[in-house]
Amino acid sequence: MPEKQIKSWIKPEVLSQPAYHVESPRHRIKLNQNECPWDWPEELKRKIVERLSSVSWNRYPGLVPEKLKDKLSEIVRVAPNQIVVGKGSNEVLQALATVILRPGDTVCTLAPTFAVYRLLSEQRSAKMVESFLDKRFRVDAKDLLEKSHQARMTILCNPNSPTGTLIPLGLIEEVAGESTGVVILDEAYVDFSGVSALPLLESYPNLIITRTFSKAFALAGFRIGYAVMAETLAHEVQKGLLPFNIDLPSLIATEIILENRALVQARVKQIIRGREQLISRLNTLDGVTAWSSHANFFLLETPQGPKKTFEFLLSRGILVRDVSGYLRCENMLRVTVGSPEENKILYQAIKDLT
């Protein structure tokens, strides 16, 4: 059968999209997906496996993970019914798009930002309206307010990816106050900035905050994320998720990890320290710019340019993210902050290159 005919069964909005893509060549040091550089200690993993082996695998998990919601509600200090749990924050974002967006609706985002927002919106035939960051990645507040005012959905990422920059909380409050639609704030990297919009939730019923266990909590291999919002909204957003979406292994792992938050906090501190050291050391190199960041990654520019630098780093076994396709990042790579040893190796490689 001709490919053209097969493709005619797919929505044009999907056909015109590039597939989400992450390079995965062979490497020793993985600095391309903003994961935590350290795995969980063996004894904790064993505890998870033991608990998993003590429950029935032939039975469905809860329709909704009520126990996890209770635990999260204590941590973020909201009612359990204000929380929606998904397989990664990606699934929560997908549910939000499913229950909110109609064909022709407008979705306002910043540019550059996380590519999944566009992917989800376009697949639902929504129209993207972008507010461009300036050359120093600052938000044009007036432009954002204007564009988000009429949008059915505004999605902001704080700290933003791939830039690592922070949107001032005051501006987020203004956007939430003035927009006639919902305002989603993606706080995937909030642990590294320490700046959350959670306190705004009570005053702005259109505000939705998403979080993930994939970054600071070092659980990207299990897929858990959640969103916090007004109870009425949460009830509806839950309908956008399939029943029994959260599998037992992810649930049990998350519950046990939440009992070990002290280790998460210690690691976050170490990553922040590593970020500051690495950025300031890189900036001492001739022609190199490492952009300051509030996340566990930063943008890097070298005189050799992103393609050559990417290949050179890879020849040393270091995998970073080429973000040169993103607006305003044409000359840049995105580098995840690693362990102190990894940071040292990255620094030495850039020194040798330049």
Closest approach, Cβ 137 to ligand PMP, in A, equals: 15
3-state SS class at 350: helix
Closest approach, Cβ 189 to ligand PMP, in A, equals: 7
Helix ranges, 128-259 (H): 141-149, 169-178, 190-193, 231-237, 248-258
Identity of the residue, 88 or 288, whose beta carbon is nearer to ligand PMP in the bound complex: 88
Q: Does 191 contact ligand PMP by CB under 6 A? A: no
Q: Does 185 contact ligand PMP by CB under 6 A? A: no
Strands (E), the chain: 29-30, 83-86, 106-111, 127-132, 153-157, 182-186, 207-212, 225-228, 289-290, 297-301, 318-319, 321-322, 333-336
Residues 107-146, interacting with ligand PMP (CB under 6 A): 114
d(CA 298, CA 221): 23
Q: Does 88 contact ligand PMP by CB under 6 A? A: yes
264-197-20-181 Cα dihedral, nearest 10 degrees: 160
Identity of the residue, 182 or 345, whose beta carbon is nearer to ligand PMP in the bound complex: 182
Interaction pattern, residues 15-54, with ligand PMP; x per rule: CB under 6 A: -------------------x--------------------
344-348: Cβ within 8 A, 24+ apart: 345/29, 345/316, 345/318, 346/29, 346/31, 346/278, 346/313, 346/318, 347/278, 347/281, 347/282
Amino acid, res. 104:
G
On the question of a cis peptide bond just before residue 205, with omega within 30 degrees of 0, the verdict is no
* Maximum C-alpha span of the chain: 60
Identity of the residue, 188 or 230, whose beta carbon is nearer to ligand PMP in the bound complex: 188
Q: Does 90 contact ligand PMP by CB under 6 A? A: yes
Residue from 35, 130, 186, 301 in contact with ligand PMP (CB under 6 A):
186
Which range binds ligand PMP by CB under 6 A, 87-95, 227-235, 237-245, 286-294? 87-95
- Residue 11: CB atoms within 10 A of its CB come to 12
Identity of the residue, 268 or 349, whose beta carbon is nearer to ligand PMP in the bound complex: 268
**Rg, C-alpha atoms of the chain:** 21
Residue from 106, 196, 212, 343 in contact with ligand PMP (CB under 6 A):
212
Closest approach, Cβ 343 to ligand PMP, in A, equals: 20
The CB-side HSE value for 223 (13 A sphere, CA atoms) comes to 10
Which residue number places its CB atom closest to ligand PMP?
88
Residue from 83, 172, 188, 350 in contact with ligand PMP (CB under 6 A):
188
Closest approach, Cβ 90 to ligand PMP, in A, equals: 3
Identity of the residue, 90 or 238, whose beta carbon is nearer to ligand PMP in the bound complex: 90
Q: Does 193 contact ligand PMP by CB under 6 A? A: no
Residues 280-319, interacting with ligand PMP (CB under 6 A): none
Q: Does 165 contact ligand PMP by CB under 6 A? A: no
d(CA 332, CA 300): 5
Which range binds ligand PMP by CB under 6 A, 83-91, 165-173, 269-277, 345-353? 83-91
Contacts of 218 (CB under 8 A, 6+ apart): 35, 36, 38, 39, 40, 257, 264, 267
3-state SS class at 87: coil
The CB-side HSE value for 40 (13 A sphere, CA atoms) comes to 27
3-state SS class at 190: helix
Identity of the residue, 332 or 350, whose beta carbon is nearer to ligand PMP in the bound complex: 332
Identity of the residue, 160 or 343, whose beta carbon is nearer to ligand PMP in the bound complex: 160
Closest approach, Cβ 140 to ligand PMP, in A, equals: 20
Q: Does 158 contact ligand PMP by CB under 6 A? A: no
Look at the block and give the residue holding tokens 């690495």: 278
Residues in contact with ligand PMP by CB under 6 A are 34, 88-90, 114, 157, 161, 186, 188, 212, 214, 220, 225
